Amino acid sequence: MLWQPGEWIVILGIAFGALVVSTPLKLLRKCFSVLFGCFKRVHVSQDAYVELLAMMYQLFALARKNGLLALEPHLTEPEKSDIISKYPAVFRNKAAMELLVETFRLVVDGSVQPEDIEPLMDSSIETYESEGHMPVNVLRAVADGLPGLGIVGAVLGIIVTMAHMGDANPESVGIHVANALVGTLLGVFFAYGVLFPMVTTIAQHEAEQTKYLVVIKTAMSSYVSGASPSVAIEFARRSIFSFDRPAAAVVEKACKGAR
């Protein structure tokens, strides 16, 4: 009874058409990318934060010991850096590496004042966050419209039912009414049982990634403001969500091992 191709085509077809018509091509590609990859994306774990903090500690310690120019080889070719390459969880994170390397380069070049580092990184993070919200907002709008599209499918089924009111077999009327109600069921199911959970997953991933970037910003801004490497790392550790925050002893052990 639930396999009613007409209802499926009406609901999913209109939803897909509305998505295509209302969304620019570059954003549409992003929507499909995050939608199909939402369950493949890895959540940011405590181990990932430990790797990040240990790597940043090692870079800070190197700059403090040998000067900022000692960081230049690591920033020019991060994939060949004997420091960065040791931390694959950080290196594979494109947004984090971009924020980290570009900010470090400005510090090494001396082209930005220490007090301007935090606003500069805030601007980058805000742009990343806004960009991440765009596909979420589009997909959430589609999910909001699916129950209404289910009603459209149901009304279409009722129209078909009315055309069979004169049939000799009264059982056919009940069958057509049941078919029409499948449209309402599908609209609500795809909205609250499929698309909304996927959108929530995507939004959670984006929130975790944004916090990952905020941790980088906290460490960088603390260090360039004059904090020691260990103090800058502690500032960054305390900015992590409590359920992802590694213990101070774990971070200290990782930093000592890196040193």
Count of CB atoms situated within 10 Å of the CB of 165:
10
Question: Of 114 and 34, which is predicted with more confidence?
Answer: 34
Q: What angle, 0 to 180 degrees and rounded to 10, lies between the N-to-C axes of helices 46-66 and 94-109?
A: 20
Structural domains of the chain, count: 1
Which tens digits make up the pLDDT trace of 102-154?
Answer: 988 888 887 778 888 889 999 999 999 999 899 999 999 999 988 888 888 88
Q: What is the pLDDT of residues 241-256, one digit of tens each?
A: 988 899 999 998 988 8
CA-to-CA dists, residue 172 to 20, 140, 159, 175, angstroms: 37, 38, 14, 5
The pLDDT of residue 177: 81
The model carries a pTM of 0.84
- Tell me the per-residue pLDDT of 52-99, one tens digit each, with 9 for 90 and over: 999 999 999 998 888 888 888 888 888 888 888 888 888 888 899 999
Q: What percent of the chain has pLDDT over 90?
A: 35
In whole angstroms, give the CA distance from residue 104 to residue 62.
13
Residue 184: its pLDDT value, please? 86
Specify the pLDDT at position 126. Answer: 93
Q: Is the pLDDT of residue 166 over 70?
A: no
Q: Which residue range is the domain that position 52 belongs to?
A: 5-258
Report the chain's mean pLDDT, rounded to a whole number. 87
* pLDDT confidence bin for 5, thresholds 50/70/90: confident
Torsion over CA: 89, 91, 97, 100 (sign): positive
